Structure 1
Amino acid sequence: MTFMSPIEQLYRDIEHLADALGAVCERDRVMPCLAAFSEGFAGTGLAFRTTTKAGGTPELSYRYTGFGGPSPDPYPIALRHGLLPAPDGLVDKAHQDIARRLPVDLWGADFGTTTGIEKIYATFGVGDAQPVPRIAALPSMPIAIDAEAGFFARYGLGDVGLMAVDVRSRTVNLYFHPAPGTLTPGIVARMLGDLELAIPADEAVVRRCADAFSVYFTFSWASPRIERVCFPLFVSARELAPLTQNPILTAFAEHAPFEAGPRYFVHAAAMTPVGYYFKLENIYRYYAGEFWDSMAKAVPHWREPALKDS
């Protein structure tokens, strides 16, 4: 029997899912990332993701979350291994400000099967969620964060528990974990209207957005406004069927691999000025208890989702 290393097995699972989706998986792009970030991929939570975003060939990404194990800062690792895109100053300064001026507790990273490293995630420590004005005051941040500070205050979205820098699209994400009752279908619709983003005609989509465990906003240095809002929900495999009418999501749900344990997914609606699309990811590896406990420590009002067994 031939021994397969954990990294090789992970690559095989990524490749298998890419094939099922009709996505391109370039081994020469994926394996250097798995090798360079072996500590993160071996020791923390993992997930794969696809979207229904229009644009031709389906895409697949994979990530380590930082929950459950060692999670070193991905930026210097990517820099050392030559995995970053050509520097433009904006991303470099944003990462430096986050790493040096904010209380980062966990790091994670997102990778594409044709692009390599895409996003770097910074989760703040227990009790250290950051107010929007403090993040907006960082000199490297997009100006829209400061411009929309009033919007966040108006909707009770005061503290940021997680943020990410996309090193390829040159954007910044701010992640909020609203207290129960903060979001209702009506509030979601008003938020989207205020931001001049698409409001789904399907009321079921809006209702699900109101049940999201998080809401996150995308900012670009090239724009004075919020570019996108996403509303993610945890769902079990059994609950997923009605949400996967798109053939890409159906293929993902049917073929997504899991290292062990229950089959849990995250389904998210992403709203833009011209429409909306869906994201779907599988929790390839999570640490029973440790993942939920980490969330509870980071978010005072966190409640473990009442998922039906798959």
Structure 2
Amino acid sequence: MSEPAESAQLYSAIEESARLLEVPCSRERVWPILSAYADSLPKAVIALRVATGARYRGDLDWRFTVGSDVDPYAVALSNGLTEKTDHPVGTLLAEISERCPIASYGIDFGVAGGFKKIYLFFPPDGMQSLSTLAELPSMPRSLADNVDLFARRGLGDKVNTFGIDYRHRTVNVYFGGLPDECLEPAGVLSMTRELGLPDPGEQMLRLGRQAFGIYASLGWESSAVERFCFAVMASDSSSLPVPLEPEIEQFLKGLPNNAADSRFVYYAGVSSTGEENYKVQSYYNWQPRMLDQMLLSDSGETRA
């Protein structure tokens, strides 16, 4: 049986991107993922992401969307992309999908490391509340422990995306439609200090003023928020003053790109370890519907 054209073309782009960054690309890890979700690829938003810092060296992440009519975790299990587990991480997606409307899902994987995460995208007009999510039996207790902190800053009902990391057994809570005070330096410092995280540097605080979203990473092992991050849209990979290693700057110039509309998303984050790091996401296949998901106008400005 011949390989689906979309899957074969995408694999070639993934292989090329890995070569540019000198990351080993394992067909044994990548192809089963593309094959498992092959029916979703023709209409998918497809992106790749590279990150600074020692923790992220040696791998390169790609991600793509799948429709809300697909059970992405069941597909991953049935195709051997991840192992079945008794940990609550294995039942969380089903609980959220049963309780909340889903616009689409996303699959995240490393070209060397394989399957990593599933994202749930809520409809732009159906952002979810932290209290609803915190009530779910499989949700990390750390979310409930921090609901009041986020709610006091106007974020209690502004969850537009939720990520489940099956490898590290953590979750990411993404907030959109942010109140202005959440992006001002004083507001950011107040929040990170109450979360027990190190103060972001001046460069990160300046970048935060342009953010269309923020997210927090939490786990099942403690109540602590492990990471706090800004997301910023840009049309040019060199238009924002973020510190990137020379090899990453060179990599971004040579990326395979199947999208007529070039866009980049920068992620700037601070972790409980005190490390600041930056991630750059480039779109191989961009779809205008993503602006609605990000609550952005076509100009890249945040919509009220």
Scaled by the length of structure 1, the TM-score of the pair is 0.88
Give 3-state SS (helix, strand or coil) of 1:85's partner.
coil
Q: Is the alpha carbon distance of 1:291 and 1:77 closer, same or farther for their aligned partners in structure 2, counting shifts above 3 Å?
A: same
Change (3 A) 1:284 1:103: same
**Partner of 2:131 in structure 1?**
133
User: Hey, what does 1:19 align to over in structure 2?
Assistant: 19
Give the residue type in structure 1 aligned to 2:217. Answer: T
Bigger Cα displacement from structure 2, 277-286 vs 117-126: 117-126
Q: Deviations for 1:20-41, whole angstroms, at most 9, x for unmatched residues?
A: 1121210110011111111222
Partner residue, 2:297 = 303
CA contact (8 A) 1:131 1:158 kept: yes
Q: Which residue does 1:151 correspond to in 2?
A: 149
Q: Partners in 2 of 1:215 and 1:227 — Cα distance?
A: 14
Identity fraction in percent: 32
In the superposition, relative to structure 1, how do residues 57 and 25 fare at CA in structure 2: closer, same or farther (>3 Å)? Answer: same
Q: What residue number does 1:63 align with?
A: 63
Which amino acid counterpart does residue 138 of structure 2 have in structure 1?
S
The runs of 5 or more residues in structure 1 that have no matched partner are: none
Contact 2:198 2:270 in 1 (8 A): yes
Kindly indicate whether residue 105 of structure 2 is the aligned counterpart of residue 111 of structure 1: no
Note the alpha carbon deviations across 1:184-237, whole angstroms, 9 max, x for none.
122112211211223233x12211123211111111011211111111111112
Number of matched residues? 296
State the one-letter code of the partner of 1:135: L
AA partner of residue 281 (structure 1):
Q
In structure 1, how many angstroms separate the alpha carbons of the residues matched to 2:42 and 2:73? 18
Pair 1:26–1:45, CA change in 2 (3 A): same
**Structure 2 CA distance for aligned equivalents of residues 256 and 150 of structure 1:** 42
Q: Secondary structure of the residue that 1:281 maps to in structure 2?
A: strand
Structure 2 residues not aligned, in runs of 5+: none
- Please provide the CA RMSD for this pair: 2.2
The one-letter amino acid paired with 2:24 is V
Cα distance, 1:269 vs. partner?
Answer: 0.6
Structure 1 CA distance for aligned equivalents of residues 259 and 285 of structure 2: 7
Q: Does the CA contact (< 8 Å) of 1:107 and 1:121 recur in 2?
A: yes
Structure 2 residue 25 is matched with structure 1 residue 31: no
How far apart in 2 are the matches of 1:72 and 1:110? 15
The one-letter code matched in structure 1 to 2:234 is V
Q: What code does the residue aligned with 1:237 have?
A: D
Aligned-pair CA distance for 1:263: 2.0
Paired AA for residue 20 in structure 2: A
TM-score calculated relative to the size of structure 2? 0.90
* Letter of the structure 2 residue corresponding to residue 295 of structure 1: Q
What does the per-residue CA deviation read over 1:70-93, in whole Å, with 9 as the maximum and x for residues that have no partner? Answer: 762311111111111352432112
Pair 193,28 (structure 1): closer, same or farther in 2 beyond 3 Å: same
Q: Secondary structure at the match of 1:280?
A: strand
